[in-house]
Structure 1
Amino acid sequence: MKKILLLALAVSAFSCKTETKPDYIVISGKITNKLPAELSINTQDQSFTEVIEVAADGTFTDTLTVEKGSYVLYDTKNPVFLYLDSGYNLNINYDAADFKNSLVISGEGAAENNYLIKKREKTPLLIGDNASFYSLNEADFKNKQLAIKDSLTALLNNTPGISEKFKTSEQKELHYNYLVGLNVYEKGHRYFTRDQEFKASDDFLKGLDGFDYSNESDYKESPSYKKIVTDHYVSEITEFMTKDSLSQEEAFFKTVKNIPSELIKNTFLFDFANQSMARSKDIESFYNTFMSISTNEDNKAVITEKYNKLTAVAKGKPSPKFVNYENYKGGTTSLDDLKGKYVYIDVWATWCGPCKREIPFLKELEKTYHDKNIEFVSLSIDKVSDREKWKKMIETENLQGVQLLADNDWKSDFVKDYQIQGIPRFILVDTAGNIVDPNAPRPSDPKLVEMLTELNI
């Protein structure tokens, strides 16, 4: 977590220089033209986030003790992707009105971060459009993957100032990324060529023969290695689901129990639980199974906290409230305003593809139940600053029901109380304001009509 470490910094100012790098990271800089509503440093999976104070003149500085790896400095609009390691002292400056062309990173660790910026810019250009890329035959695809790897390796080797430690780690990452490309080729080729019968030749993935799926160091440091390992175990899960007719949860827990590396097992287990427990139909069983397998006490504490919050929104419990949310038709609406009716809540956003795919089904439901004792509420978690975009979609799609805009997007109390981490999410509340189902079926799922029929709606 974040530590200010002022004492450590004061002591270092009066100490003799040594070759030992400090165990903290300093990031500072200045944002010109427009002060951000908020500036934060986050892991890319948002498991860690800390707000950084910005002065009135746009300057900021903070001292962190975090694990080395990938982070995002985010001002709610412009993301600065960073690689952080102990001893880094990064200065980050940009013009909020011209972010892409004005971003400048200097200081200790700048060479590595500027290389990564160039890598992110160059990679899409090397790949080209995905349809053409994945439609290549096996030989041409593999050759292009090798050419991409070689080009990025040359960029790495030709960037001055990069430490040997980082260079060694990045060379591994580039190789693993090459293997990731081969690993997803079959699915990508099927999708873009619309040839669902396509099967890669037996020797196409020869580079993965004898692959070590238990390298804990690479699992922690290389996103591509982690993806290879994840895909490997996801394949096992899918196989259990198919051959043994297990549910996804059952297949997952059966797979994870057999992962030999404790670190990988605990991380894989935690990542799944953190994202999926809220969608489980039996949260108590899910939680108990997680606790019986996990050996990481920190992970157990996080999931226990999540479990306690989820059980607070279990079937039969009073629903968390939303209060005075902006109503498209004017004024505001609170959940209590709808008491006396069942309330089917669709948590969505204009940028969410799966949400938009449910719209036609939701419209049909609203027609079918228009004179019944149920209210259909579409609760957008678009940013308040995107209000006009929200209004335009309501008009363009002729959306019906009660159209509301949450007060603080993902950070709205209602969203946090329900532990919503992915959308669309559907919630059914009864006439007294109690939860019928915190994970109600989607409008496209016939089980929803069955549920409403059982409730005599």
Structure 2
Amino acid sequence: MRKIGLLLITILLISCGKNSSSDYVTLNGKLNATGVEKLLVQGKNFMKEISVNADGTFSDTLKVTDGVHAISNGTDRITLFLKNGYDLDLEFKGKTLMDGIKFSGNGSETNNFMENKRNFFMSDYANPKTYFNLEKDAYTAKLAEAKTLLKKYKDEATNLDSLINAMDARNDEMFFGYIESNYEKMHENAMRFAKGKVSPTFENYENFKGGKTSLSDLKGKYVYIDVWATWCAPCKAEIPYLKALEKEYHGKNIEFVSISVDKSEEYETWKQMVTKEELGGIQLFADANFESKFIVEYGINAIPRFILLDPNGNIVDADTERPSSPKLKEIFTELGI
């Protein structure tokens, strides 16, 4: 009887252990950076701070709603997929979270797959210009190369969570659908506005500081053009970066020109925003919003749009990096600005 009782207790303990472990996520890791005291994990209806020890190690349990979460240290953040029952060890590849993570333990396949996809979409494979700038045969080969790489990631993740699998399939369909349906038109534009080609021009656009300004007035300097509007949220998100950039390069061989494509009835709104935000550089108001000759000739139908021209008015890049992209300064450095 005593043996049966002990057996029942053992079974209950094992059972309780299994049930409890499936009720939460366990995260373990060691940061390579020093001085970090806490990490923040956020998801749907979930937020928790994880304490980090002086040596960079951390370990905690989380009761989550299954799904994509962010783990962050201030502005340094990366996404991962958490599901109750996961027991994950995080090996950080560098001193920041954004340098990447290698996962091991229960749930690692899905998270390593997500890490592979993150790297893919941070590479040139995710830049439509990578495909649009190529001639047909090279474009076809590059597209096949990208699809083969993504298939490899998928084949390696044999236990990929079904939610991520479904989301990933939709994302890939949308991404490649955009590339394939727009290649012909965008390739034609890429060739038309290739590096070294003469840029379309604008003439006598109203300058916020007074008078009129034409592109020809800026000859002799590189010109970084921001096409934007006061109602455009992504445009406004770039403002702090553009202001910092203009301040850093002030006095150098480059002019920063912002062209508003607001409609005429938003003219006062434009003036007020330039004043309120203390926008620097050359602030211009296009003569006919999206119907302006300069805008139409460049085929601009979505903003923000950034254009980089050389001192002779020739195109360096007709769809260049945003101010928030670290790559933009690399371009400036290569040009000797």
- Please give the TM-score of this superposition, normalised by the length of structure 1: 0.39
Residue by residue over 1:330-388, the C-alpha shift from the partner in whole angstroms, topping out at 9 and shown as x without a partner, is 23222112111111111122122232222222222222222222211011122222111
Q: Is the 8 A contact 2:131 2:183 kept in 1?
A: no
Match of 2:328 in 1: 448
Match of 1:79 in 2: none
Distance 2:307 2:82 in 1: 41
Distance 2:80 2:186 in 1: 42
Match of 2:117 in 1: 241
Distance 1:358 1:455 in 2: 22
Match of 2:150 in 1: none
> Which of 20, 45, 53 is equivalent to 1:135?
45
Q: Is the 8 A contact 2:242 2:323 kept in 1?
A: yes
> Which of 314, 326, 329 is equivalent to 1:434?
314
Distance 1:188 1:453 in 2: 36
> Which of 231, 239, 262 is equivalent to 1:359?
239
The percentage of counterpart residues that share the same residue type is 46
Residue 428 of structure 1: SS of its match in structure 2? strand
Distance 2:305 2:183 in 1: 20
Match of 1:409 in 2: 289
Summarize the alignment of residues 365-444 of structure 1 with structure 2, pairs less than 5 Å apart. Answer: 365-444=245-324
Change (3 A) 1:238 1:332: farther
Match of 2:220 in 1: 340
Match of 2:132 in 1: 283
| Unmatched 5+ stretches in structure 1 | 1-133, 137-184, 203-234, 253-275
Change (3 A) 1:383 1:246: closer
Distance 1:246 1:388 in 2: 40
- Please give the TM-score of this superposition, normalised by the length of structure 2: 0.52
Q: Report deviation, 1:406.
A: 1.8
Q: Is the 8 A contact 1:346 1:426 kept in 2?
A: yes
Amino acid across the alignment from 1:389: T
Residue 133 of structure 2: SS of its match in structure 1? helix
Amino acid across the alignment from 2:132: I
Q: Is the 8 A contact 1:309 1:417 kept in 2?
A: no
Number of residues of Structure 1 aligned to a counterpart in Structure 2: 215
Q: Is the 8 A contact 1:287 1:307 kept in 2?
A: no
Q: Is the 8 A contact 1:310 1:419 kept in 2?
A: no
Summarize the alignment of residues 222-237 of structure 1 with structure 2, pairs less than 5 Å apart. Answer: none
Residue by residue over 1:239-273, the C-alpha shift from the partner in whole angstroms, topping out at 9 and shown as x without a partner, is 76358x576664x7xxxxxxxxxxxxxxxxxxxxx
| Unmatched 5+ stretches in structure 2 | 1-43, 47-65, 86-110, 145-178
Q: Report deviation, 1:401.
A: 1.1
Residue 347 of structure 1: SS of its match in structure 2? strand
Q: Is the 8 A contact 2:203 2:215 kept in 1?
A: yes
Residue 433 of structure 1: SS of its match in structure 2? coil
Summarize the alignment of residues 23-62 of structure 1 with structure 2, pairs less than 5 Å apart. Answer: none
- Greater RCO structure (CA 8 Å; 6+ sep): 2
Distance 1:449 1:281 in 2: 20
Q: Is the 8 A contact 1:241 1:248 kept in 2?
A: no
Distance 1:198 1:238 in 2: 8
**Which structure dedicates a bigger proportion of its chain to strand?**
2
**Which structure dedicates a bigger proportion of its chain to helix?**
1
Residue 414 of structure 1: SS of its match in structure 2? helix
